Chains A and B, each alone.
Chain A
Amino acid sequence: MRAYEIAFRGIHQHRVSSLITIGAVALACSMLMLVWAFKKEAESSFVGANGGFDAVLGPRGSKLQIVLNGLYHLDESPGLMKWEDYEQIAKFPAIEAAYPIAVGDNYRGYRLVGTVPEYLQNHYYTEGKPFELGRGGTLFSDESMLAVAGSLAARRLGVGVGDTFQPYHGLIFNEDAIHEEVYTVSGVLEPTGTPADRVIWIPLKGIQTMSGHNPAAATDISAVLLKFKQGANMAGFQLDMLYNKQGNRLTLAWPANRTIIQFFDKISWIDKALQAMAALVAIIAGGSILAILYNAMNERSRDIAVLRALGAKKMTVFSISLLEALGMTFAGVVAGFAVYALFGFAIGEVVQRETGVALDPFSGNASMIWAPVGMLGIGFLSGLVPSVKAYRTEVARNL
């Protein structure tokens, strides 16, 4: 019977306390990986899901609100802006493309975004990737009563080409606030992994002239999504000066990515709090290994003495105890990956449902190496104390 078999037997013999320890290690390891991986993944996925735009022009207000509303279809618009403002910025020489959007209605909680058909027709939401319609789908025209559903919205709402629906007023679903208009779904977008998946696109005029909306604002829009020409970096500075410093009616959120990065920086305390919690759980897991093995050594001093009497060397019983600690930690780490996979999948689903941003928690990241290695290190250190106790067990006294 080899040392590792005796160590495994020790773990099995104290299976209740061993399982608790393995659970604590699994929790700590998975938490460390989840917190770290999701921070990185969320940051890169959100930045990557900017829809291929460099800037957003919106009514005077917070840049973050304008970006969240314009690019991520979250939050409310800070107000309305004039159609002339769109026309003016669209003519700016450094602008490659400018798409107006209008928001303010929903269908069963899924936001309706009014825009021009060129947005879905010509724009690349990420490098080299245009929007694509699913089989049998067609785009709407400016004057039509047609709608194109994002893939996630269509799936969740259970709508497809040919289905009709009546929009509801506001961004939050209220059954009593139904509009008279009836829209027909003319197409469903292929998944993009961006917020475009969780909205329903309709013609800009549809939002502007929806029954019950203020006729005086029938040409107003919520924001303009901007793509700069290649190498036109200076344009951002010029427009920033024009709208943000010299003007006082509109706000230019540029660069759009920086606004999101700043947002993540602002909420980084949440990561730190979660990381501190994960570290605490890791320490508790280490303490648990130490306490369980140390107590087990008290109970098992006779067993250790018997092994020694049978010829086991001091280093052998030391190794057996250390292998038990490492065995429990290793089992905890393996279980930690299972917990990570489970929660990673669940969190990814929730984030995609709520934001449309597709996270991939299973893409390799550094935490998948340092968290398990760190836990094994903690297991090793925790196992040292009881192992030294086993090493020092007096054979004659304990037989």
Chain B
Amino acid sequence: MSLLSIKGLVKRYPSDSGAQIDVVRIPSLLVEPGEQILLKGESGSGKSTLLNLIAGIVVADEGEIVLSGENICALSESARDAHRARSLGYVFQNFNLLNGYTSLENVELGMSFGSGVDRSYAKNLLDRVGLGNRQDYRPERLSQGQKQRVAVARALANRPKLVLADEPTGNLDPKNANLSLELIQSLCSENGAALVLVSHDSDLDERFERTVELAEFNQARMARVEGGSS
């Protein structure tokens, strides 16, 4: 049984002219447990929206997203929040660390709304991302690469089944980008978590078991727009 199953997923937003346009249209997408896939697409192709749909942050207009046997689209907002806290890890392009918190506390925040804080595990994660000696540092004292490593540790803090990564290397120099990507992939493998990483970087293809081009879905989407359908 697939870890993640997406069928007939549609998300629409109003355009400037007021017409509804399909920002995301995914006929079918499956992710197996522990699998690492790369979702590729240009800017505006709906990559981030797709991740937000999987995370239950935004609600689909059509279709279903089944994660660990639970259809997220059918859940209430509160249940989606709980599901996110329990089953998902999220890595953002701009890290999104909270400034008033130390590295350790930022990682602990990743546990706070799910299974509860496990300080020794949070410290262990920071050790594994090479920041065991930066636990008490706040984000302003960390480099960009270090911030991303804290964000990776936070994403894994609740022992998720699926990690979503939204352009995680977009704000990093090539060296740090490479290191961060290695780190995300290896930690996901070690923890048995599947990884869905979105990027517009075509150099990443060979590092993933599978690459899904959002452009393929977009062609169908554009065909529908041109055909006059919303």
| B2 close to chain A: CB less than 8 A | no
| A13 close to chain B: CB less than 8 A | yes
Q: B81 and A311: CB pair below 8 A?
A: yes
Q: How far is the CA of A308 from the CA of B100 in the complex (A)?
A: 17
Main secondary structure of the interface of B (DSSP, over half): helix
- 17 A-B pairs with CB atoms under 8 Å apart are A1-B105, A1-B112, A13-B100, A307-B109, A309-B55, A309-B92, A310-B85, A310-B110, A310-B112, A310-B154, A311-B81, A312-B85, A313-B82, A316-B113, A396-B49, A399-B92, A399-B96
Contact pick for A309, options B96, B99, B105, CB 8 Å: B96
Q: B100 and A310: CB pair below 8 A?
A: no
Q: A310 and B113: CB pair below 8 A?
A: yes
Cβ–Cβ < 8 Å partners of B187 in chain A: none
Interface residues of A in 315-329 (CB under 8 A from B): 315-316
Q: How far is the CA of A12 from the CA of B101 in the complex (A)?
A: 11
Q: How far is the CA of A306 from the CA of B100 in the complex (A)?
A: 13
| A395 close to chain B: CB less than 8 A | yes
Q: B84 and A309: CB pair below 8 A?
A: yes
Q: How far is the CA of A315 from the CA of B48 in the complex (A)?
A: 25
The 10 closest A-B CB pairs, nearest first, are A311-B85, A311-B113, A13-B100, A1-B112, A313-B81, A311-B84, A306-B96, A395-B57, A312-B113, A396-B52
Interface residues on B, range: 20 to 34
> Using a CB–CB distance below 8 Å, which chain B residues touch chain A?
48-49, 52, 55, 57-58, 77-78, 81-82, 84-86, 88, 90, 92, 96, 98-101, 105, 108-110, 112-114, 117, 154, 158
Q: A303 and B113: CB pair below 8 A?
A: no
| A353 close to chain B: CB less than 8 A | no
Closest beta carbon of chain B to A146's beta carbon, Å:
73
Contact pick for A314, options B81, B85, B99, B117, CB 8 Å: B81
Cβ–Cβ < 8 Å partners of B85 in chain A: 310-312
Quick one: closest A residue to B97, CB to CB? A306
> What number of residue pairs across chains A and B have CB atoms under 8 A from each other?
70
Quick one: closest B residue to A314, CB to CB? B77
| A9 close to chain B: CB less than 8 A | yes
Q: Which of A302, A306, A307 has the most CB of B within 10 A?
A: A306
Q: How far is the CA of A13 from the CA of B55 in the complex (A)?
A: 29
Q: B82 and A311: CB pair below 8 A?
A: yes
Cβ–Cβ < 8 Å partners of B81 in chain A: 308, 311-314
Cβ–Cβ < 8 Å partners of A312 in chain B: 81, 85, 112-113
Q: How far is the CA of A10 from the CA of B100 in the complex (A)?
A: 8
Quick one: closest A residue to B78, CB to CB? A313
Cβ–Cβ < 8 Å partners of B114 in chain A: 311
Q: How far is the CA of A399 from the CA of B49 in the complex (A)?
A: 12
How many residues from A make CB contacts under 8 Å with B? 23
Cβ–Cβ < 8 Å partners of A2 in chain B: 112
Q: How far is the CA of A396 from the CA of B23 in the complex (A)?
A: 14
Quick one: closest A residue to B90, CB to CB? A309
Q: How far is the CA of A309 from the CA of B94 in the complex (A)?
A: 14
Q: B86 and A311: CB pair below 8 A?
A: yes
Cβ–Cβ < 8 Å partners of B101 in chain A: 9
Q: B100 and A12: CB pair below 8 A?
A: yes
Closest beta carbon of chain A to B12's beta carbon, Å:
14
Q: How far is the CA of A175 from the CA of B114 in the complex (A)?
A: 81
Cβ–Cβ < 8 Å partners of A309 in chain B: 55, 57, 84, 90, 92, 96
Q: A1 and B117: CB pair below 8 A?
A: yes
Q: How far is the CA of A316 from the CA of B81 in the complex (A)?
A: 11
Closest beta carbon of chain B to A1's beta carbon, Å:
4
Q: How far is the CA of A315 from the CA of B113 in the complex (A)?
A: 12
Cβ–Cβ < 8 Å partners of A399 in chain B: 57, 92, 96
Q: How far is the CA of A332 from the CA of B112 in the complex (A)?
A: 28
Closest beta carbon of chain B to A296's beta carbon, Å:
11
Cβ–Cβ < 8 Å partners of A10 in chain B: 100
Closest beta carbon of chain A to B151's beta carbon, Å:
10
Q: B113 and A9: CB pair below 8 A?
A: no
Closest beta carbon of chain B to A390's beta carbon, Å:
14
Q: How far is the CA of A310 from the CA of B88 in the complex (A)?
A: 8
Cβ–Cβ < 8 Å partners of B96 in chain A: 302, 306, 309, 399
Q: How far is the CA of A152 from the CA of B110 in the complex (A)?
A: 65
Closest beta carbon of chain B to A395's beta carbon, Å:
5
Q: B109 and A1: CB pair below 8 A?
A: yes
Cβ–Cβ < 8 Å partners of A316 in chain B: 113
Cβ–Cβ < 8 Å partners of A13 in chain B: 99-100
Given contacts A1-B112, A314-B81, 9 further A-B contacts (CB under 8 A): A6-B112, A309-B57, A309-B90, A310-B90, A310-B113, A310-B154, A315-B78, A316-B113, A395-B57
Closest beta carbon of chain A to B27's beta carbon, Å:
23
Bitwise, A285-315 to B at CB < 8 A (1) or not (0) is 0000000000000000011001111111111
Bitwise, A364-399 to B at CB < 8 A (1) or not (0) is 000000000000000000000000000000011001
